[in-house]
Structure formats: structure tokens, C-alpha cells
A and B are shown apart, each in its own frame.
Chain A
Amino acid sequence: MIPELGHFAIVLALCLAVGQTLVPAVGLLRRNPVWISVAQPAATGQFIFVLLAYFALTQSFLVNDFSVAYVAHNSNTDLPTVYRVAAVWGAHEGSLLLWVLMLSLWTLAVATFSRNLPSDIRACVLSVMGAISVGFLLFMIFTSNPFERLLPAPEQGRDLNPLLQDPGLIIHPPMLYMGYVGFSVAFAFAIAALVSGKVDTAWTRWTRPWTTTAWLFLTFGITLGSWWAYRELGWGGWWFWDPVENASFMPWLVGTALIHSLAVTEKRGVFKSWTVLLAITAFSLSLLGTFLVRSGVLVSVHAFATDPARGVFILIFFAIVVGSSLLLYAWRAPSFTSRAEVRLLSREGLLLLNNVFLVVAAAAVFLGTLYPLVVDALKLGKISVGPPYFNTVFVPLTLPLVFLVGFAAVMRWKNNSPRQLLQRVGYLVPVAVILGVLFPWIALRSNSVVVSVALVLAFWAMTTAVADVFRWLKSGLGKSRQSRNIPLAIWGMNLAHFGLGVFVLGVTLTSAYSVERDVRLFPGESADIGNYAFRFDGVHEEAAANYDAQVGIITLFRASDEIATVRTEKRRYRAQGSVMTDAGVNARLDRDLYIALGEALDGGAWSLRLYYKPFVRCIWLGGFLMVLGGLLAVGDKRYRMKLRQRQDSVVDKNTLAAEA
């Protein structure tokens, strides 16, 4: 019964989505405010029904209803409850439902928080989001119904893919989808701009917080994905340039360019059509990602069970959405003109360069990901493009960004002289050089030219961000409480840029100085990496809810002081007999000690893989700092509605100073 109700709920949601798309659009053409006002209740209704459908599917998982095909394929009575809930989005159909849920959530949010928008813009935005909903709901109903029955129902389900039975599954996909889907808001705003023919400060003021919010969720999702892969896949890697990973990274790169480009358009009214194009591109890349993951066109460890028929549907949807928006762009964008001078040594110029590098980097990832397909389609053979290519190409394209970011805080709008810049930030150059060159020596007793260059840049990013915060704090001393408050946007910007530096530091040191050893140990024997000793204390058996494990215990020593005990397991999941290794990690900010249990060898010995990974945590710390930075930036009082109403006529002193 409940699955049928869920199915029905989706159909109802579709009807409401169609209404949300068409009625306000017609209302816009006919200037009928009543029709336009249909958007909000339609959005609310859509959200309610999608949520009901989502609960119906979750319920089916919780009660182990194996008559629902999706539950039978992805669950098991022995599966722990928390994973039964997460399994809802563990495979194609359910994750699609999650997509739609996120979309209806974002739509509801936009409908609720945009009461100050002119009604024609609001109608357009909600109508576009409704259209996207319609597409995905149709896709679900016709090709990927999560409520499809499997009769006769099997007694036991197939179990969730063991790789997914990890806390990472609980949080990574929802956050990632919040980001992916969130860019649809920027997209909808871009369409609204094209339709209305206006890109003005007001438009950018509305678009910026939504875009930054989507961006920070996507950053969070990608960072979590990397952390999860590191723990799950057993060989200490944190990024594989896998097509599905790239599918999430491309929108992120373009999204980052977009949030920066929006700043320029807001402040100086330039790059209008470029910003609109970026907004369209970011969401288009989200859609492309959806296509790549679910169509089977590219080979990936991540890909869902693939089906070319589904691929055809998504491709047609992609063609309609992106094709029509770009057609609209070609028609209307040329009318966005701006008459302002842009100099290289200005914040606009700096952000222009930022966009150049980010967009070219995204293009490089795009090229590498799709190239095998191009070569195959042109019948020129089959090639593989993997980490060796991406690492070689990506690093030189993005390292200049780390250099540019140091000027972010001190570069004023319109014009700066080289002397002014030198004055404001020149003193940090020797600081960064000293820190960058000394840090590897102090922390790891080693260094090289490449490492030094990268670390100097990383410290450059970090010190300039810290210096800016100090400058603000200093200028706030002795002033009234109100004028002392540093705008959250400043905190956000510097925190995010600082996070970038931390990220670069982590990547550089872990890539250069990780040590890996494959060893054969008898219980009681030890192996060393540098100052650390790993003593193998033997393997014993344990049984858990849905798997049997051989658990290895390793005691860690540092210069003969015992520091920790670590477990690593070889799990055999009973449902399908699949075997998985769960690595044991002793984590610290400055290093991870990572152990993976290998095979049992003759005589009671075991093979083990040991890793020493310096500063690997900084990779994710950097990511999380960027997320936090984004969060603070969105919280800036510029965007708070009530405040904005009060201040719309009064110029805010601090904000002016911040933007000067």
C-alpha cells in the first residue's frame, strides 16, 4: 500500500510541478498577478508530496518490504537500521528521488525567502525551477520508478553494496546533491535576467547568496566524498580523477568562478553576460554530471547501474534545458552592455584572471573526461585518460590562482598602483617564502624545489588572509561598537582563502612525502616507517550484523612510546559473499598512520599495507574551512532581508568601506 501511495505522491507532485511551471509563466505573459501567485503554493505542495514519497520509500526500507524491487536490490534484513535509511539513496532510482526532494526543497526556500523580489522575476525563477522538476519527475516515473514492485517478493534482499556501508554514505550524497541542485537556483535567476532583459545590482544581490549557498554545499559534498574514499578504498588515495568525481568537480570550478564574477557584476556592473553564461554553465554541468553517472557512457567505479535507455532520456532533457537557455542567451545577452573601464590592477581585473584560470581548469577536466569518448566515437581507437594526465595538466593551471588569491583582500576596485599593492602586501612575501621553505624542513626534515614553491604559495594565501583580518581588527580599535564589527563577508572571504592555502599545503606534503610499505608479519613482529613502529598483534574473528570479519590489531609506537592501537578488518558480507577491507587509521592533523589488512599467508603470517601520510587531514580541513567561509559570507547582513529593508535607502558605512 505504502509504495503505491508513494508512487501516487510522485504523480501528484508532477502535476503540481507542471502547474508551477505553466501557470506563472502564462501569468507573466498576461500580467496576471493571480496566476503568478500560484507559484508559491504550487511549490509548497510539490515539496509536501515529494517528501511524502520519500518517506514512503524510507518506510519500505525500514520494514524490509522486499516486494519493492528497489528495496530488494539494495537492502537486507541484517542491514543496520542507519544504513537502511541511507540506502534509500544508495542506487539510481532512490538517489533520483533524493535529487527531486532537494530540488523541491530549494524551490520552496526560494519561494519563501524571495518575497521582496519583483513578482515578474519571482514568477520566472519559480517557473524555471518547476520546469526542471517536471523533467526529473517524468524521468523518474517513466524510466526509474523506485516504487516498482518485484513479485513474487524475495525472502531476503541483495544487501547494500558494502562499499556504501559507511558513515560517508549518510552524509556525502545529500550534501553533494544540495550543491548540484542548488545551482539550479542560479540558473533560474539567469533565465529570469535574460527574459526580463535586466542584469542590475538588485539581480546580483538576490542571486549571490543563493549561489554561494549552493557552492558551499557542493564544496562540503566533494570534501566529504574525498574523505570517504580515503577511508573506504583501502589504498590511501583521496582523489582519483574518476569521471564521476570530475562530474562534480567541473560544476564546482565553474561555480567558484561564478561567485567571484557575481561580485564584479554587483559592484561595477560589468561582465554581465559572462556572469549569466556562467550561471547557465554551472547548472548545465550539474545536468551533464547526472547524465554521465547514469548513462553508462563512461566507465567509473562510481557509476550507478547503467542503462542507455535512461541515458537517452537524460540527454534529451539536457538538450532541451541547455539548448533553450543558450538560445535565449544568444538572443538576449548581447543587449547587456556596460560602459565601465576595467583595469588589470583592480579587483575587477583580479577576478577576471580568477575566472580565466578557473574556467580553463574546468575545461581541462572536461577535455580529459570526455576525450576517450571522442576518440572512440571517431573510431580512432580506445585510450585511457587518468590521474597521470589530470595531475600533470591541472596543477599548472591552478597554482597561479593561489598566487592571485594573496591580493584578494588588498586589491581595491577600479584602480591600484603597483606601489600601493607593494605597500599593503609586499611585506608578506618574505614571510611566505621563509615559512614555505622552512616548514617542510621543520615538520618533515626534507624539502625540494617543487615542494617549496607550492608551500610558499600556500603560506602566501594563508598569511595574506590572516593579515587582512588583523588589519580590520586594528582599524576597529577605539571606534564605536557598531563600526568595529567586521562584516561577515570579510571573515568569510579570508577564511575561505585561508582554507585554500591549507588545502594546498595538505596536497603538496602528502603527495610528496607519503610513505607506503607492503610487509609480511607474524603476530608479534613489527615494521617501521621512519620514527614510527607498527606492531602486528594478530588477527581474531568477529561477527557483526551483516558481515563476518577478521580483525587485525596493530599497536603503534613512536620512538618506542606506545601511542595507539588500531583495528583493521577484512569483512565478508554474508548476503553476497563480497569481501571488503576496512582500513585502520590513527589520525592527527600533521600525519595519518594508515593500515590495511591484506591476505593470510602461510604459517600464520599476514600481509599488511602500512602508510605514513603527512598532513593529509589538511586536505579536508582546507575544504571545510572553505565551507565555513562560504557560510559566513552568506550570513553577511547585506543579505538579511529585514536589515535590507531598513537600509535600502541608507548607505551602509562599513559595507562601503569593505568594498572600497
Chain B
Amino acid sequence: MHACLRTLLMLALLGAPAWADVAEFTVAEEARYQTLINQLRCLVCQNQTIAESNAPLAQDLRRQVQEKMRAGRSDDEIKDYLTERYGDFVLYDPPMKKTTWLLWLGPFILLAGALMIALLILRKSKKVDPEPEIKPVDISRILKDQDS
């Protein structure tokens, strides 16, 4: 790990949220910008988006996103620009690829499986003789008998 970035890391962790480079965007553009920078990872910081981090690299990347947006690039084009240089690691929203389908579909496959198992358990338990229902009336009678 780049040792000389330790001080920068501290600043990144603790520094003011990153907006000193406020750009002149319209409200809609600002919203798009915010969404984008919240989906991109700061590579030098520990698990922060480039929106949150104040590391120099994060500032550079934010500036790149702003410039590309002003140049009319689409979200996908901007993301491609960054993944070409930094790999998929820079995306916080892992793309749907061969390596990530298990990640995205896994939970739902698990849910389906778990529900099926639950249904099986319910059905299997039916084979057992059901216990005779003890109605509440019986119990109060028993209690009355006990009290008296």
C-alpha cells in the first residue's frame, strides 16, 4: 500500500465532505451527478464513494465526471471511461457479468429454495397424526377443579 498516502487517508476519512468544487449544474444535472459519484468507489480510501472522500484522487475523479457530463457523455460512457482505467473495482454497483450473476441472483435463488424447504417441512409434518385439539373450555374446567 502506498505508504505516503497515509496522511491523505486520514484527511480522506476525516475531511469535509467533498463539495468545495461545486459545479454549475442545473438541479436535474446535479441530481444525476450526485447519483453517479455515489456509485463510484474512491480507490485510495477505505470503502468510500468519491462523493464522500476528500482524497486528491477522489477530487480528480469528481472533476473528470463533471467534465464528461458537460461534454455530453452518458452515464454508461462515463463509467466505461473509469473501468477502462481502473477495472470493475471502481464501480460500487457491480455490473451483471458472468462473475457476478451469482451475487445478484443468489439471494433470490436462496429465497426460492428456502420457501420450498419450508413448504416441504409443513407438508411432511402433516403425515404425523395431528394431536387432539384441547379446547380452552377444558382447561378452565381443569383449573376450576384444581382450585376447588
Question: In the complex the two chains form, is B19's CB within 8 Å of A607's CB?
Answer: yes
Contact with A along B34-60 (1 / 0, CB 8 A): 100011010001111101100000000
Taking CB as reference atom, which chain B residue is nearest A656?
B139
Most buried by A among B17, B110, B121: B17
Q: B28 at the A/B interface (Cβ < 8 Å)?
A: no
A384, B90: Cα distance in complex, Å: 7
Partner of A578, one of B10, B91, B100, B102: B10
Taking CB as reference atom, which chain B residue is nearest A343?
B122
Contacts of B22 in A (CB 8 A): 518, 520, 607
Q: B107 at the A/B interface (Cβ < 8 Å)?
A: yes
Chain A contact residue count (CB 8 A cutoff)? 69
Interface of A is mostly: mixed
Say how far A525's CB is from chain B's closest CB, in angstroms: 15
- Report if A599-B103 is in contact (Cβ < 8 Å); known contacts: A301-B47, A340-B131: no
Contacts of A609 in B (CB 8 A): 17, 19
Partner of B103, one of A341, A349, A385, A598: A385
Question: In the complex the two chains form, is B41's CB within 8 Å of A384's CB?
Answer: yes
- Report if A368-B125 is in contact (Cβ < 8 Å); known contacts: A341-B131, A384-B92: no
Question: In the complex the two chains form, is B16's CB within 8 Å of A299's CB?
Answer: no
Contacts of A578 in B (CB 8 A): 10-11, 14
A357, B110: Cα distance in complex, Å: 10
Question: In the complex the two chains form, is B19's CB within 8 Å of A382's CB?
Answer: no
Say how far A57's CB is from chain B's closest CB, in angstroms: 25
Number of A-B contacts (CB under 8 A): 158
Partner of B13, one of A301, A363, A371: A301
Within 8 A of A (CB), among B82-122: 87-94, 99-100, 102-104, 106-107, 110-111, 114-115, 118, 121-122
Contacts of B45 in A (CB 8 A): 301
Q: B72 at the A/B interface (Cβ < 8 Å)?
A: no
Partner of A341, one of B48, B49, B128, B139: B128
Q: A328 at the A/B interface (Cβ < 8 Å)?
A: no
Q: A426 at the A/B interface (Cβ < 8 Å)?
A: no
A242, B45: Cα distance in complex, Å: 13
**What are 23 A-B interface contacts by the 8 Å CB criterion?**
A163-B14, A234-B17, A235-B17, A242-B47, A341-B130, A342-B125, A356-B118, A364-B110, A382-B87, A382-B88, A384-B88, A384-B91, A387-B38, A389-B94, A393-B104, A393-B107, A397-B107, A415-B133, A518-B19, A579-B14, A579-B15, A581-B14, A596-B16
Interface positions of B (Cβ within 8 A of A): 10-11, 13-17, 19-20, 22, 34, 38-39, 41, 45-49, 51-52, 87-94, 99-100, 102-104, 106-107, 110-111, 114-115, 118, 121-122, 125-126, 128-131, 133, 136, 139, 143, 146
- Other A-B contacts than A341-B125, A367-B107, A381-B87, 6 sampled, CB-CB below 8 A, are A356-B118, A367-B103, A385-B103, A393-B104, A609-B19, A653-B143
